[in-house]
Structure 1
Amino acid sequence: MQPEFNTTTLLVTHYNRSASLERLLKAFADQDIIFVDIVVSDDGSKPEHLERLKSMQNTYPFRLITTPFNKGLGNNINKGQDAVNTPYTLYVQEDFDPFPGYKKHLQDALSIADERGDIDMIRFYAYFKYPYLKPYRYGFSEMIFKLWYPGYRKFHCYSDHPHLRRSTFFDKFGRYAEGIKGDRTEFLMAVSFLKNKGKAMFYEDFKGLFDQINSNDEPSTMKRSDLRQSPNVVIAFVRSIYRNIKYYYEYNNAKKIN
């Protein structure tokens, strides 16, 4: 079957969750979503998972980019993105699955990206709705960032949840920070995205296109402190104040890419 998405590479980051990866690739195949290329960037998984990945290549043809030991999220995304040769990259972590019907939304996103050369990325999933949106079409809205808008959530234009982006992403925003925790890596890219005038679209039904699946057999590999996730009202209030101060400070002190 000829690839319908011949301008797009599927980039999947993987670490010790080969069953999750197989489920993800099957979900795309079941919808006849055929990419011109698939890159799986592995972050030093255990031998049994690497063997399973190599076996999976007989069913799902993908290029496997490996590393001899775990180097963290930043390195894993960087080396995966370096291997992409198409104008667009669909970035998905291995624990996400597209819901049935996703194909049409990907086509819509690509048509917007082709039309709007100023749009750097189009987001398909989020934990919360971005607070400042300008409706565009097909259920997508443009994310509007103004430093004087209230609240810290305005800083979350970028996310490493499933999204479509231009493969020249590094040219404008730099590479992902390496050798630090994954949350910090993502945060620094979010700051760079805003500092370098990034523009993004956001699918308003943000839980309607992908499902994040963390099974008992393959739980999340991202560990967060209880304080960061506590629903306690007092802790949540203090956390909000802290994030407002922190985000403004980090944004104002970040350097633009020359």
Structure 2
Amino acid sequence: MTQTYDFPNVTLLITHYNRSHSLENLLTSFKRLNCCFGDIVVSDDGSKEPHVTHLTQLQKTFGFQLITTPVNRGLGNNINKGQDAVKTPYTLYIQEDFEPMPEFPDKLVDALAIMTQQPGFDIIRFYAYMRYPYMKQYDASFSEMFIPPWAINYKKLYFYSDHPHLRRSSFFAKFGRYVEDIHPDQTEYRMSISFIQKKGKGLFYNNFKQLFHQKNSQEEPSTIHRKRWTFSKNPFIATYRYLYRHLKFNYDIHFMRLDSNKAK
């Protein structure tokens, strides 16, 4: 007998921009895994007409709330208006280019049980490009992230990430809204700083490559563009980049004053 997973207290929040076929794959994957949510919110950031047409077709098939904007306003606005539409206590946040693996529903059940029983946790992360550098075992599947006083690895910044995660829908009340009208990387950066400054608490799934697959096809590639120096393997540039990030991140964590309504 096929198992059905019902999550009435969870809203699936998906941010979307010009990748409607990727969105269709994500929604189809959850349907194939027999996952039912209290609500599904798709927040679109002013996609082009062919994708808007496809979105309205998908809405009829999957019955999600579609939150739109007439012009592209950036990642911060897209997440903010999507989160504003969430009415359930918990939010499962996923960008449209991810696909859940068969193991995910059972782990979402576990994560939801933890957040229900442990009100101190703000977020449970399911995917990352790399393992978080500072963790202590919580149970067989999850580890608790922390930042020791002596932490020198600048990757401690990724205490928060916008990769697939479960969070409390009251997230804004504690950490503020996403800063709008700036580059997406800066939007994520400022939320990461806020999460650290306001003493966020979260878990990290140990086998983080086993629950989601990120799919960027040639037809619908990533829409984020970054400067070349951020990826250069030149040893001089890499050393400078490490020192710059380490000093900047530590300074910002202690001294940045965040404004969630506008960029500085």
8 A Cα contact 1:12 1:39, kept in partner: yes
Counterpart in the other structure of 2:61 = 59
Q: Find the aligned partners of 1:199 and 1:246 in 2 and give their Cα distance.
A: 22
Structure 1 residues 95, 245: closer, same or farther in 2, change over 3 A?
Answer: same
* 3-state DSSP of counterpart to 2:167: strand
Counterpart in the other structure of 1:85 = 87
Structure 1 residue 68: Cα displacement: 0.5
Q: Please list, as runs of the form range in 1=range in 2, the aligned pairs for 1:205-244 lying within 5 A after superposition.
A: 205-244=207-246
8 A Cα contact 2:190 2:258, kept in partner: no
Counterpart in the other structure of 1:172 = 174
**Letter of the 2:111 counterpart:** A
Q: Please list, as runs of the form range in 1=range in 2, the aligned pairs for 1:20-99 lying within 5 A after superposition.
A: 20-99=22-101
The answer to which of 151-160 and 63-72 deviates more is 151-160
* 3-state DSSP of counterpart to 1:153: helix
Counterpart in the other structure of 2:147 = 145
Structure 1 residues 38, 138: closer, same or farther in 2, change over 3 A?
Answer: farther
* 3-state DSSP of counterpart to 1:4: strand
Q: Please list, as runs of the form range in 1=range in 2, the aligned pairs for 1:105-144 lying within 5 A after superposition.
A: 105-144=107-146
Normalised TM-score (structure 2): 0.94
Q: Find the aligned partners of 2:162 and 2:116 in 1 and give their Cα distance.
A: 21
Structure 1 residue 57: Cα displacement: 1.6
Structure 1 residue 138: Cα displacement: 4.0
Q: Find the aligned partners of 1:255 and 1:198 in 2 and give their Cα distance.
A: 17
Structure 1 residues 147, 72: closer, same or farther in 2, change over 3 A?
Answer: farther
The answer to which of 148-157 and 28-37 deviates more is 148-157
**Letter of the 1:87 counterpart:** P
Q: Find the aligned partners of 2:121 and 2:140 in 1 and give their Cα distance.
A: 15
Runs of 4+ in 1 over 6 A off after TM superposition: none
Tell me the percent identity.
Answer: 54
Unaligned runs of 5+ in 2: 260-264
Q: Find the aligned partners of 1:155 and 1:218 in 2 and give their Cα distance.
A: 29
Select 2:250's aligned residue among 245, 248, 251. Answer: 248
**What is the RMSD of the two structures over their aligned residues, measured on CA atoms?**
1.6
Structure 1 residue 256: Cα displacement: 7.7
Counterpart in the other structure of 2:191 = 189
Unaligned runs of 5+ in 1: none
8 A Cα contact 1:10 1:92, kept in partner: yes
Structure 1 residues 239, 12: closer, same or farther in 2, change over 3 A?
Answer: same
Q: Find the aligned partners of 1:183 and 1:154 in 2 and give their Cα distance.
A: 16
